[in-house]
């Protein structure tokens, strides 16, 4: 019963929660968190059940209002969308556990609004993942985007400025998408994705379809934050509250990447794929280089998001099964990594009062468990086995070799080296330079890790430094971060079963080699 | 050149509206003018969908005893119009959020001019 209705239940539960939270929260402010958490648990359970059902018996299609697909709106839960739904709901469950104390600390007084908006955001994302209708996708895209603007605007003083910039670009992206769908409607007279896929080979005019496709992809690329159109992303992520960033960064741009796959399953146009491959390569290189020069950790992570969305785009645009598997695995891995990294950055901001890289000296002694999770995620970001990031890059490289695109193999490897640079920059400052006082007098260093080497001990005694006691994040904040960090390694070790049993089912028809 | 435009006046008008809107969004310094530009491209997209539904010589999609049901070509396609009602709602909501954010920016920095805004942000750091 629940599994057959799961395509509708997943977005509707989130949307219903976003309505209920302000109503209940008006009378009992404390209850809003409980409702949000319960919804997340429920949706996670339902999407797991949905994934199990889909893997056993094939796609579930839900017809809204009982109208049959080409006329009515269809919600589809197939292996691909079920996989994305599980990623969304799992990440959000972790973020919600993390959010409780952080929201109370960072956004006093607006916690009801935060939970309500975050549920609305998730409803939009889940709807984007599940819908089988182009116009419905536009509506969910705008629901998610509008809630996202709100979430990014509350927090710091600069928040509204960055959110406004994101709004201007994001609206342009959505309108490009809408115009593109208009062109496709013009050529086919239908909005259902499966129906359009069947009509298009027989359509009388191909040119409007290609124009429409270009418009749609332009809109989606803006939403994904691929290199030349990434400008909204670093500002928005840096200036938002750390809970909002932890919520949006792991899943927001990935769902746009998923929409990109959905559109390519409808219609494939090879010259466009070449352009997208090069865009993705530019995004990988530029994102990595820009990440190196940043001083703010959140901003560095935002630029590395640009690079990582490049990997995903490249995997999809190379258009062969191996690269596609790499892209899907990277969607999962990047969601997990960014969750840990942004959550840890939020913890640093709370407990050490800074996210500036040059002030991170002694960070592992102040927050040892957070540091452990943070560096596991960074290692995965560079792609060091046995973390999952290594395997997703391995599949991507494999796919690029299969497509005979050696230049992209080089790009992926080169960007990993660049990743090494920004990883070791942070690691060097955090672990190996505890006593230098170049610009600031206040040193954050606990007694736990005082190394007594004979040469340095002479130097130390003459220096004055303030010590900072061990100050770990609270258990509720630490627990989800550690769980996700462990799962990064587990996904790396058990990537075989995940790829064979889930992702290879999700490889769309057009990528499979003709028999 | 003229043959290209002839018969497609509406399309070219909408293209012009769209480009003017994009120009305003990108080049204007005032945040409210950016919002105007945003509204313009939204209107252009909505009108474009209405144009998609238009048919020469067709009538409104209400059952007319004078036109037999065997000939649905005589009716316009009502679907884009209904969908655009939703798109108008989305556009209005976007406008509301945009103006709310502009008010928040004005309260925080006391200006709506982008150059001045960036200068004040830089000053603050």
Task: Write the pLDDT tens digit of every residue in B56-68.
Answer: 777 777 777 777 7
Domain span including residue B95: 2-54+76-124
| CA–CA gap between residue A361 and residue A434 (Å, rounded) | 5
> Nearest 5°: phi and psi at A438?
-85, -50
B68 in any annotated domain:
no
Contact A172 B102 (CB under 8 A): no
Of residues A446 and A9, the one with the higher pLDDT is A9
Counting every residue written for chain A, the total comes to 515
Q: What is the pLDDT of residue B99?
A: 92
Which residue of chain A comes nearest to B125, CA vs CA? A158
Of B86, B94, B124, the CB nearest to A146: B94
Contact A146 B87 (CB under 8 A): no
Of B41, B77, B80, the CB nearest to A175: B41
Residues A391-449: pLDDT tens digits? 888 888 888 888 888 888 888 888 888 888 887 888 877 777 654 444 444 444 555 55
Of B77, B105, B124, the CB nearest to A164: B105
**How confident is the model over A251-263, as a mean pLDDT?**
86
B69 in any annotated domain:
no
**Which residue(s) pair with A454 in the sheet?**
none
Mean predicted lDDT score pLDDT of chain A: 81
Contact A160 B124 (CB under 8 A): no
B60 in any annotated domain:
no
Tokens of A381: 């970001």
∠ CA A313-A387-A254 to the nearest 5 degrees?
25
**How confident is the model over A328-346, as a mean pLDDT?**
88
Of residues A475 and B102, the one with the higher pLDDT is B102
DSSP type of residue B69: T
Secondary structure (3-state) at A176: helix
Question: Min CA distance, A172 vs chain B (Å)?
Answer: 7
Q: Is the pLDDT of residue A70 over 50?
A: yes
Q: What is the pLDDT of residue A468?
A: 63
Secondary structure (3-state) at A205: coil
User: What Cα–Cα distance (Å) separates residue A170 from each residue in A121, A175, A227, B54?
Assistant: 14, 9, 15, 29
CA A280 vs. chain centroid, Å, equals 16
**Which residue(s) pair with A74 in the sheet?**
A63
Q: Is the peptide bond before A386 cis (omega within 30 degrees of 0)?
A: yes
| CA–CA gap between residue A446 and residue A448 (Å, rounded) | 5
Q: What is the largest CA-CA distance in chain A?
A: 84
Which of A367, A342, A339, A338 lies closest to A352 in space, CA to CA?
A: A367
Residues A280-293: pLDDT tens digits? 889 988 888 888 88
Of A157, A171, A179, the CB nearest to B38: A171
| CA–CA gap between residue A287 and residue A303 (Å, rounded) | 5
B48 in any annotated domain:
yes
Q: Is the pLDDT of residue A500 over 90?
A: no
B20 — pLDDT class (breaks 50, 70, 90): very high
Contact A178 B87 (CB under 8 A): yes
Which residues of B touch chain A, with CB atoms under 8 Å apart?
Answer: 18, 22, 25, 31, 34, 38, 41-42, 45, 48-49, 52, 77, 79-80, 83, 86-87, 90, 93-94, 97-98, 101-102, 104-105, 108-109, 117, 121, 124
Of B42, B45, B52, the CB nearest to A186: B52
B70 in any annotated domain:
no
Which of A323, A6, A69, A173 lies closest to B38 in space, CA to CA?
A: A173
User: At B119, which CATH number?
Assistant: 1.10.287.3510
Question: Min CA distance, B57 vs chain A (Å)?
Answer: 18
B104 in any annotated domain:
yes
Percent of chain B's residues with pLDDT above 90:
30
Q: Enumerate the residues of chain A whose CB falls inside 8 A of the CB of residue B97.
A: 146, 149-150, 167
Contact B52 A178 (CB under 8 A): no
B61 in any annotated domain:
no
Q: Enumerate the residues of chain B whose CB falls inside 8 A of the CB of residue A64.
A: none
Q: What is the pLDDT of residue A121?
A: 92
Contact A157 B87 (CB under 8 A): no
| CA–CA gap between residue A29 and residue A183 (Å, rounded) | 47
Q: Enumerate the residues of chain A whose CB falls inside 8 A of the CB of residue B34.
A: 168
Contact B45 A167 (CB under 8 A): no
| CA–CA gap between residue A238 and residue A245 (Å, rounded) | 8
Tokens of B49: 């969908």
A178 — pLDDT class (breaks 50, 70, 90): very high
Instruction: Tell me how many domains chain B contains.
Output: 1
B80 in any annotated domain:
yes
| Residue carrying structure tokens 């310094």 | B29
Q: Is the pLDDT of residue A31 over 90?
A: no
Contact A157 B42 (CB under 8 A): no
**How confident is the model over A335-340, as a mean pLDDT?**
89
Of B34, B45, B104, the CB nearest to A175: B45
| CA–CA gap between residue B121 and residue B111 (Å, rounded) | 11
Percent of chain A's residues with pLDDT above 70:
91
Residues A140-157: pLDDT tens digits? 999 999 999 988 888 778
**How confident is the model over A190-209, as a mean pLDDT?**
80
Of A157, A167, A179, the CB nearest to B101: A167
What radius of gyration, in Å, describes the C-alpha atoms of chain B?
Answer: 21
Q: Chain A to chain B, count of Cβ pairs less than 8 Å apart?
A: 74
**How confident is the model over B114-119, as a mean pLDDT?**
85
**Which residue(s) pair with A76 in the sheet?**
A61
Tokens of A131: 């819908």
Tokens of A161: 């400025």
């Amino acid at each position: 019963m629940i599994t057959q209705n799961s395509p509708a239940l997943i977005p509707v539960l989130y949307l219903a929660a976003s309505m209920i939270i302000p109503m209940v929260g008006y009378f009992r402010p404390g209850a809003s968190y409980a409702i949000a958490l319960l919804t997340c648990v429920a949706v996670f359970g339902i999407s797991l059940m949905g994934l199990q059902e889909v893997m056993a018996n094939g796609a579930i299609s839900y017809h809204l209002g009982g109208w049959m697909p080409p006329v009515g709106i269809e919600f589809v839960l197939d292996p691909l969308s079920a996989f994305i739904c599980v990623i969304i709901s799992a990440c959000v469950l972790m973020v919600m556990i993390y959010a409780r104390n952080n929201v109370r600390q960072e956004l006093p007084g607006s916690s009801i609004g935060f939970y309500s908006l975050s549920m609305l955001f998730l409803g939009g994302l889940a709807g984007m993942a599940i819908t089988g209708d182009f116009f419905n996708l536009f509506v969910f895209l705008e629901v998610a985007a509008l809630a996202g603007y709100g979430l990014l605007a509350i927090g710091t003083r600069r928040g509204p400025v960055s959110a406004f910039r994101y709004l201007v670009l994001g609206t342009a992206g959505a309108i490009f998408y809408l115009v593109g769908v208009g062109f496709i409607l013009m050529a086919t007279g239908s909005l259902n994705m499966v129906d359009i896929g069947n009509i298009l080979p027989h359509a009388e005019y191909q040119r409007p379809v290609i124009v429409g496709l270009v418009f749609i992809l332009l809109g989606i690329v803006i939403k994904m934050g691929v290199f030349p159109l990434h400008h909204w992303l670093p500002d928005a992520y840096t200036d938002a509250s750390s809970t909002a960033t932890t919520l949006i960064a792991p899943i927001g741009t990935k769902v746009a990447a998923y929409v990109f796959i959905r559109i390519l399953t409808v219609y494939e146009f090879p010259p466009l794929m070449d352009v997208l491959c090069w865009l993705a390569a530019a995004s990988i290189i530029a994102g990595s280089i820009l990440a190196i020069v940043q001083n703010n950790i959140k901003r560095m992570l935002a630029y590395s998001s640009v690079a990582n969305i490049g990997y995903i785009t490249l995997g999809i645009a190379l258009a062969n099964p191996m690269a596609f598997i790499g892209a899907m695995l990277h969607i999962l891995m990047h969601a997990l990594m960014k969750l840990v990294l942004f959550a840890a950055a939020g913890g640093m901001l709370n407990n050490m009062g800074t996210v500036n890289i040059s002030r991170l000296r002694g960070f592992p002694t102040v927050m040892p468990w957070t540091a452990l999770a943070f560096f596991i995620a960074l290692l995965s970001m560079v792609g060091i086995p046995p973390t999952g990031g290594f395997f997703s890059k391995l599949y991507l490289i494999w796919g690029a070799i299969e497509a005979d695109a050696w230049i992209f193999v080089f790009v992926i490897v080169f960007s990993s080296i660049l990743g090494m640079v920004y990883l070791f920059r942070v690691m060097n400052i955090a672990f190996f330079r505890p006593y230098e006082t170049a610009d600031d007098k206040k040193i954050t260093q606990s007694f736990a890790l005082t190394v007594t080497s004979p040469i340095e001990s002479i130097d130390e005694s003459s220096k004055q430094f303030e010590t900072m006691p061990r100050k770990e994040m609270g258990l509720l904040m630490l627990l989800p971060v550690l769980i996700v960090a462990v799962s990064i390694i587990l996904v790396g070790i058990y990537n075989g079963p995940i790829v064979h049993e889930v992702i290879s089912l999700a490889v769309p028809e057009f990528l499979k080699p003709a028999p | 050149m003229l043959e290209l435009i002839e018969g497609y006046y509406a399309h070219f008008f909408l293209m012009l509206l769209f480009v003017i809107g994009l120009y305003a969004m990108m080049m204007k310094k005032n945040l409210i003018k950016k919002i105007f530009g945003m509204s313009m491209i939204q209107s252009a997209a909505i009108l474009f969908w209405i144009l998609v539904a238009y048919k020469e010589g067709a009538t409104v999609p209400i059952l007319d005893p004078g036109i037999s049901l065997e000939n649905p070509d005589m009716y316009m396609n009502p679907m884009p119009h209904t969908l655009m009602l939703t798109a108008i709602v989305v556009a209005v909501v976007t406008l509301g959020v945009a103006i709310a954010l502009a008010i928040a920016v004005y309260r925080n920095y006391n200006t709506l001019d982008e150059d001045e805004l960036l200068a004040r942000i830089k000053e603050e750091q």
